[in-house]
Every structure is written in C-alpha cells, then in structure tokens.
Amino acid sequence: MKLVNANFENQIIFNGNIKVLAIENQINFYKLCSMLREQIDGSSEGDFVLSDNAVEVPLEKNAIFFYDYFNFPINDKKLINQLYIKLKNIAFDEDCSMETNQLNMDIAKYISKIISLSELPLEYNDEVDVVSFFKFLDIKFVFEETTLLSKMIEFLNFFELLCPHKLYIFLNIKNYLSNDDVLEFYKFCKYNGLNVLIIENEYKTKLENEDILLIDNDFCELTF
C-alpha cells in the first residue's frame, strides 16, 4: 500500500515500518495537513492518493486522521454504527434472542396501553428495532485506560475490532509521548500489522522502525 502526493518526488510506501513525514516549513505543513484532513473527511478533493495493490482506494473510507489528543473520537459515527450492528447480532443470537423478542413484545404492549389510556387518535410503529434502544440508552465507548499511550492503543483496538482501516495517521505524537512510549506504540502497530503514518512539523531524532521523509524549508525531500 502507498500514499502519494502529486507534489512529492517520493512515494510513501507502507512495508511494515512506521512512516514519518516531517514538514519543516510551517505554511506548507498547515496546507498539507488541512488538505489531507479534508480529503479524509470527504469535504474536498486534494492531491493525496491512497492505493492498495495498485488500485486507488478512497481516503475517506480507508483512513483515519487523528490530531486532537485531548478529545479522542472513540464515539466516531462510523465506529458507533458498527458497534450497534455488533450488539444487534448479539441480541438475536441463541443466547439472547428469546429475551430480545420478549422485550419487543413487552414494549409494544406497554405503548399500546399508554395510547389506549390517552384516548387520543394515535398510531405507532409496532416493529421495534433493537438498535433504537441502543441509541435511546446512548450506549457508547469509554476509555478504561488513563495514559495517552494506553488510550491511543485502545483507540486503535476499537477500530480494528469493529471497522478496520487501511491507514492510521497521527499528528505530532512526539510532542506528547516520550521516546520510550513512541517506541512502545510502534511495537504495538507493527505487531498488529497496522499501516501508520506520523506527520511532524519538524525532524526529530530517528527512532527504531521509522522510515522518514523530510521536506525541509527549501522544499527539498530527504529520505532516511
């Protein structure tokens, strides 16, 4: 799998190592990050192209761009939708199906009684969808971990369990994690076969398992 940009001389090819894109020019850094975020959000087109086995795949369906380490999007809409699908399957498996059906009948009976007592001309949908219960109860993820490293790993576990993506992009993680924690994060990603791109606004010391593409202030590209 690879990520290319029409303005880059080098391609970012994912081959097991963690890819680091360091952009030293501040204006260029902001421009490229904004473009990439908007492409992944699906709000605009841009110059980044993601391909898998020489076949282009849409960024908005295959990549996650994470940049706010104080507000993890663990209840992202795509993630929650997949969670509800998983819970619905559990609700109708052999261990829970009888209780689910009984609950649906009890609710329909209860609503029918309330409408009858209201003495008003009302109607309702008696086909109860268990997913509507999940939404009504606001079932969502919570972090069990407290450290940033643990939250990042748990965040990736949520996505890999319910809606795996081809590429996970993190912004400036070296500003928030120690080198030891960064290496631990890399170890987790490599062990689980995740394609990870780290975007930094400056070049820092190269760490183990990193492949670096540096775009310096003169827009020259260096790889090491």
Summarised one tens digit per residue, pLDDT across range 80-132 is 999 999 999 999 999 999 999 999 889 889 999 999 999 999 988 877 789 98
Which CATH architecture does the domain made up of 2-73+164-223 adopt?
3-Layer(aba) Sandwich (3.40)
- The answer to whether 23 and 212 are in contact (CB under 8 A) is no
Range list for CATH 3.40.50.11940 in the chain: 2-73+164-223
Note the pLDDT of residue 48: 97
Note the pLDDT of residue 85: 95
Three state DSSP letters for 98-146: HHHHHHHHHHHHHHHHHHHHHCCCCCCCCCCCHHHHHHHCCCCCCCCCC
The closest of 69, 42, 47 to 152, measured between CA atoms, is 69
Tokens for 66? 């994470």
Residue 63 CA to residue 90 CA, distance in Å, equals 28
Match 């009976």 to its residue by tokens: 109
Residue 126 CA to residue 109 CA, distance in Å, equals 9
**Per-residue confidence band for 74, with pLDDT thresholds at 50, 70 and 90:** confident
Match 């400036």 to its residue by tokens: 172
